[in-house]
Amino acid sequence: MKITRKPLAFVLTLVMILSVLFGSVFQVSAAAPAWPTVQSGSSGANVYALQYLINYWGYNTITVDGDFGSNTTTAVKNFQTKKGLTSDGIVGTNSWTALTNVTQKTSSYSANATKAIQYLLKNKYGMSSLAVDGAFGSGTESAVKSFQTANSITADGSVGPATWQYLVGAGKSPAASSSYSNMSLADLAKEILKRSNIKFTYDASAASGRNDGANAYNCMVSTSKGEPAKLSAYKANVCPGGTVYLSKNLLISILMLNDKYGQIGINCLADGHHSSGSNHYKGIAADFSYVGSYNSVSQPVGDNSTITTFLKGSGFTLTDWSGTFYNEGNHYHVAITAYTP
Ligand SMILES: [Zn+2]
């Protein structure tokens, strides 16, 4: 058989030309970080994750304490034997790959494997508002998506092999400012209710539309359950009745005001009695009786420029009274239409 090299040379040349023309097609995305090596004497977040994962695989006698001691070594050796790996008690690439061979997502998760993820996100990647409770809920999903986005991997909220490798390896922390915007509306409301220096200061007995149970506290409780807030119906012509979902951006602004100024008194959200068409009835407005040392009663009536400047500088777009944090005499009113972290 006659062999000619010309067609091969032609193909190689063509491939080279195409490679230059369509270089990006041949580029490989940035490699995932290397798996760390942890062994007897190691400690820290990756050891916590390892211990949770060892428990997930059926070694429930391991205490999760972040210290790689003799019990952890024994459990790791048993796991390695079970998986057909070298039973040396040293956790490197092969052992991590076997340990993290478990996809976790909202629709399908296991407490111990999910705790490993939550522990890493909270303690290694600074997502301090996340609970290590083993429940893969909307808050965990949002945190995972935020982590995936920061590491340029598919942000689907599901923790598979690639996400595990970034979590256990040297992944990037999400930007701090994105932590509130990545929380669900219900989780934001839970966070507000949890903070002892955010108080609800309305007079529940006042004939202002709140005495039918539509008050600021109940608005926040409903929101924390994933439900809309109740609008008062105590006077049909001034209180529309019905329900509305509180705006996520409004809740983020409350948390950021609390972070900045400390004490917060919330007087009114979607509840109460306002002019028809008020932004309160749209779920985007709040009234505050005080914000830190700014007590509405002792401040001059008008634009409270310090708080307005803070909110605008933090990425919020305000409406009403030309976009100010307005002192209406006995409360500050704010209405948020947009937020760009
Ligand atoms: Zn108002």
Tell me the C-alpha distance between 334 and 186, whole Å.
21
Q: Tokens at residue 141, please?
A: 């999903």
Cα(341) to centroid(ligand 1), Å: 24
More confident residue, 299 or 151: 151
- pTM for the full predicted model: 0.54
What percent of the chain is predicted at pLDDT more than 90?
Answer: 60
- Residues 292 and 269: their CA atoms lie apart, in Å, by 19
Residues 6+ apart with CB under 8 A from 107: none
The CA 162 to ligand 1 mean position distance, Å, reads 47
Q: Locate the domains of the chain by residue range.
A: 45-183, 186-339
Tokens of 41: 């004497």
Distance 256 CA to ligand 1 centre (A): 19
Instruction: Give the whole-angstrom CA distance, residue 254 versus residue 82.
Output: 51
Give the tens place of pLDDT for each residue, 299-323. 776 778 889 998 998 889 999 988 9
In this structure, the number of other CB atoms found within 10 A of the CB of residue 251 comes to 25
**DSSP per residue over 190-231, as a string?**
HHHHH-TTEEE---TTSTTTTTTS--HHHHHHHHHTT-PEEP
Residue 280 CA, ligand 1 centroid: distance in Å: 6
pLDDT value at 289 more than 90? yes
Say how many Å lie between the CA of residue 179 and the centre of ligand 1. 27
* Amino acid, res. 310: F
Beta strands in the chain (DSSP E): 198-200, 229-230, 243-244, 264-268, 285-291, 294-295, 302-303, 316-319, 326-327, 332-339
**pLDDT above 90: residue 9:** no
Distances (CA, A) of 310 to 91, 132, 191, 317, 324: 48, 32, 21, 11, 11
pLDDT tens digits, one per residue of 226-275: 999 999 887 767 788 899 999 999 999 999 898 888 899 999 999 988 88
Ligand 1 centre to CA of 286 (Å) is: 6
Please give the distance, rounded to the nearest whole angstrom, from the Cα atom of residue 144 to the centre of ligand 1: 36
Structure tokens at 32: 């995932």
Q: Which residue has the higher pLDDT, 276 or 57?
A: 57
How far, in Å, from the CA of 287 to the mean position of ligand 1?
A: 5
Q: Pick the more confident residue, 335 or 207.
A: 335
Q: How far is CA 240 from CA 77, 214, 231, in A?
A: 66, 12, 7
More confident residue, 142 or 341: 142
Query: How many angstroms separate the CA atoms of 125 and 139, rounded?
Result: 15
Q: Which residues are found with C-beta within 5 Å of the ion, ligand 1? A: 287, 333
pLDDT surpassing 70 at residue 112: yes
* Residues 223 and 229: beta-carbon distance below 8 Å: yes
**Is the pLDDT at 25 greater than 50, yes or no?**
no
Pairing of strands 198-200, 264-268: parallel
Q: How many A from CA of 282 to the centre of ligand 1?
A: 11
- Asked if residue 209 lies in contact with residue 216, where contact means CB atoms within 8 angstroms, the answer is no
| CA 181 to ligand 1 centroid distance, Å | 24
Which pLDDT score, from 0 to 100, does residue 14 have? 45
CA of 278 from ligand 1 middle (Å) equals: 8
60: exposed, middle or buried (Cβ count in 10 Å: 0-12, 13-18, 19+): exposed
